[in-house]
Amino acid sequence: MSGSRARELAALKAKVAALEAGGRADSESLPFGAPSIDACLPRGGLPLGRWHELVAGGMETETAAAPAAVAALMAAPLARRGEAVWVVRRDDLWAPGLTGLGFPPGRLIQVCARDEAEVLAVMEDALATVGVAAVFGEAEAVDLTAGRRLQLACERQGATGFVIRRRPFGGAAKREATGSAAATRWRVTPALSEPAAGEFGLGAPRWAVTLERCRGGRTGAWLVEAAGAYSPEGVFTERTDVAHPLRLVADLGDRGLAPAQPDRRAA
């Protein structure tokens, strides 16, 4: 490839990256510190100045405990830069649990909204507020119009949004949106934890996470855990000497596609 052709291609890639970043060529990213995860994300980490969607399945669609925990861990480094606003419809967010996972409690502002429309409106206002680094909102669905409004709000001050999909208790499920303006979409499922080698008791909280959609990146699935450990008194303490409060345990794959092992008993 000639030098001029290579420069043209590089310029085109830069334009595409700028468009995917909402027109801001200087968009930041937050690496997880795990190469297998960061390689799937544009610019080698979770895109900042965008909003992200976290979903679950089964009863978790009503409690949203697992996606809320993972969202808090994703955003913990951001909450150390500025304020974090969490918009809920039910007053059941357990702040001490977030603190145990490493989320800075002094940065947390809780807002209780009357309905889903108010959740999205408060998220917009918070994302566009100076000094706010991360905004969480519990909503069942975000259509394309609302999603674009959230993205415009993210771009005003560079804040990052996290929409945690949560259905009201006993409510009928809404029809799944055909499209989304979210930068990424993560599916989160609780996973069995294991104590560290040679230890007994509880292990760090774990989740199976699947990156189902990623603008400018590719999908993947991993087993992750909170970077920390339980004390003998049963108190979980985060580790502060790690790059990210979420730690990779293993890549997840379709084990059904693995080659069959030979039966050694037949030898």
Would you kindly state where each structural domain of the chain is located, as residue ranges? 27-254
The Cα 78–Cα 20 span in angstroms is: 21
For the domain 27-254, what is the CATH code? 3.40.50.300
pLDDT attached to residue 176: 59
Q: CA angle, 214 as apex, 71 and 41 as ends, to 5°?
A: 80
Return the SS3 of 18.
helix
pLDDT attached to residue 197: 66
pLDDT attached to residue 267: 40
* Residue pLDDT tens, the chain, 267 long: 566 666 566 556 544 544 444 444 346 999 999 999 999 999 999 999 999 999 997 777 888 999 999 999 999 999 989 999 999 988 888 888 888 788 888 889 999 999 999 999 999 999 999 999 999 999 998 999 999 999 999 999 999 999 999 987 655 555 655 568 899 999 999 998 887 666 666 778 899 999 999 999 999 999 999 987 555 555 556 665 567 889 899 887 644 334 444 444 444
How many alpha carbons fall within 13 Å on the CB side of residue 150?
31
